[in-house]
Copies of this chain bind each other. A is one copy, B any other.
Amino acid sequence: LTASYVRLTRVRESLEQRTGVTVRPEVAKRVAKAVLELDYEPDETARALRGGKSRTLGVVFPKVSNIFFSQALQLIGEGARRRGYTVVPLTHEDSLEQQNEDLLTLRRCRAEGVIVTGAPGTTLQNVRSALPHMPIVALDSFFSPEIESVHLQNRQAARAATKHLLDHGYRSIACVYARPDIFSYRERSSGYADAMTAQGLSPQFLCAEDYPHLEAEIRTQFSTKWPEALLVLSDVAALTVLGILGGLPALTVVRQPIARMMEATLSALFRQIDNGAAAGSQTISIPGELVIRQSCGCP
């Protein structure tokens, strides 16, 4: 009930215009002035508490530093902004435990909806026990028919791609991938198998539990003889294969030590937060690392 409270109260009224009530221009002016001199901005946390809606969307991905997920996040962010929502991304690195933590965080933040790409082994109980009655869409994954799911027609796509290779006349076609625990890859490998067996050919899998192992597998398995063609099930696997085949330009580059940069950034920020933003503003400039490869003419 101080003067400022009174003025803040006025602020509300200007918003009442939306309800169709007319406001005297005189009042509107007064309010506008108050807003300006108080530097007033509504508090979304209070608004969320009072209104029971946080206008927040949760996103649970294995990681965001991956071309597919970062693009997805970009698009989700744009769509969310368009509707006045804000996005909170959380990553689980394919760990069920961390994923449960993520889902709980979202519940405590009272997110209004969640988009999740589940870690391997995710079950309906898993998700629903953390997030009962929460709007959920599974992206690029699938745990139960009870949860909406958006994903590529993985199986069919892989079948079509394999068929294309078969039509070229190749008969020895290997399917190369890692992480067989991940939904999309299982589906894709099935599609490949479908196409092969339909031609009376036996599928030839080169599959490893993760990408480092995949590289090793490829080197040993294919050391003597490569198949005529390869169906590679993911971007990362393709890069692995190209690396081995020498299909990647060896560019000499300046590498940004991004981990160190972000570490510096975060510690600077938290120092400000802890010290009340009063810390001496300094500039942290980090040396780049010249990574010499062949493109400059070096051997």
Contacts and interface: CB of A to CB of B under 8 A. Distances in A.
A21 interface: no
A86 B109 contact: yes
The A contact surface, by secondary structure, is: mixed
Given A54-B45, A80-B266, A89-B73, A286 B151 contact: yes
B89 A77 contact: yes
B91 A152 contact: no
A238 to B, nearest CB: 7
A63 B54 contact: no
Interface string A32-66: 00000001011111101100001001000001111
B110 A90 contact: no
Given A68-B258, A269-B115, A148 B76 contact: no
Which one of A135, A168, A170, A264 has the highest number of Cβ atoms from chain B below 10 Å of its Cβ? A135
How extensive is the interface on chain A, given as a class? 35 or more
Interface in A154-174: 154, 156-158, 160-161, 164-165, 168, 170
Contacts of A288: 152-154, 156-157, 160
A150 B68 contact: no
A242 B249 contact: yes
Interface string A236-277: 001000100001110111101011011111101110110001
